[in-house]
Amino acid sequence: MSCKLFFLSILLMISFGVQAQVEVRYEPRHKNVIENKYFRVLDVNIPPHDTTLQHIHSTPSVILMFTNTITAEQLKGHNWVKGKSVVGNAFFRDFSKDTVIHKVSNWDTVPFHVTDIELLSAYHPNDGRKPLPFTLLFNEEKAFAYRLTDSSINKQVISKRGPMIAGLVAGDDIILHDTKNHRSINIKAGKETYIAPGTSFYLTTTSKKEINLVLFEIK
């Protein structure tokens, strides 16, 4: 009987270990808001003094911060490390080459809002595309990122580009005018908007507030 109990306890420990670290898309605070061939957009909201489950990042991703929040990260097997998110910060990380298993905690009195955008498929990685004429945040192997402000949203037509995700960090709604399909799409603050590859469009705004729009483009 004692032998059976021993093996049962081992199985329970293994089962708990598997459940305790899930792929990031299954972590409850990471909400899947857009998924297609190219992107999986996980909108992450962590209330003050709350903590995620331990989860795994294993897919190339681009990250966009929406809040200034004091946070902490605990890598598997390590102590907590304090940090801070900064509104508008964007970066690329190839988790397929550098898998991360961690928990994230909000140590602040305000919510923590970030978007984790997993890059699922390349578009035309070898077509020699040059960056768009906006502020270039990064030019990585798999993606570009641009920042658009009031002065750069000037009705310039953008066409023949790869799939994009637009994230409006600050400002009122921006209107995307799809010139091929003759339709308009509102890009809302704090939300993500998908722009299909090959879309011909321009942007307008009547906002009196400062604009901070980030575009991610897959290569």
**Predicted local distance difference test score (pLDDT) of residue 52:** 98
214 lies in some domain: yes
Which residues are CB-neighbours of 157 under 8 A, at least 6 positions away?
Answer: 179, 200, 201, 202
Q: What is the chain's mean pLDDT, rounded?
A: 91
pLDDT of residue 7 exceeding 80, the answer is no
Asked whether residue 27 falls in the same domain as residue 106, the answer is: yes
d(CA 68, CA 71) in angstroms, rounded, equals 9
pTM score, whole prediction: 0.88
- Domain that residue 173 falls in: 135-218
**Predicted local distance difference test score (pLDDT) of residue 172:** 83
Q: 87-91, 93-97, 152-156, 186-190: which range is least confident on average?
A: 152-156
Q: Which helix (H) or strand (E) holds 15?
A: helix 2-20
Confidence of residue 209 (pLDDT cuts 50, 70, 90): confident
User: What is the domain-level CATH number for residue 178?
Assistant: 2.60.120.10
Q: 4-18, 45-59, 116-130: which range is least confident on average?
A: 4-18
* Rg of the chain on CA atoms, in Å: 20
Count of domains forming the chain: 2
129 lies in some domain: no
Q: Which helix (H) or strand (E) holds 19?
A: helix 2-20
Q: For residue 39, give the nearest of 191, 166, 194 by alpha carbon.
A: 194
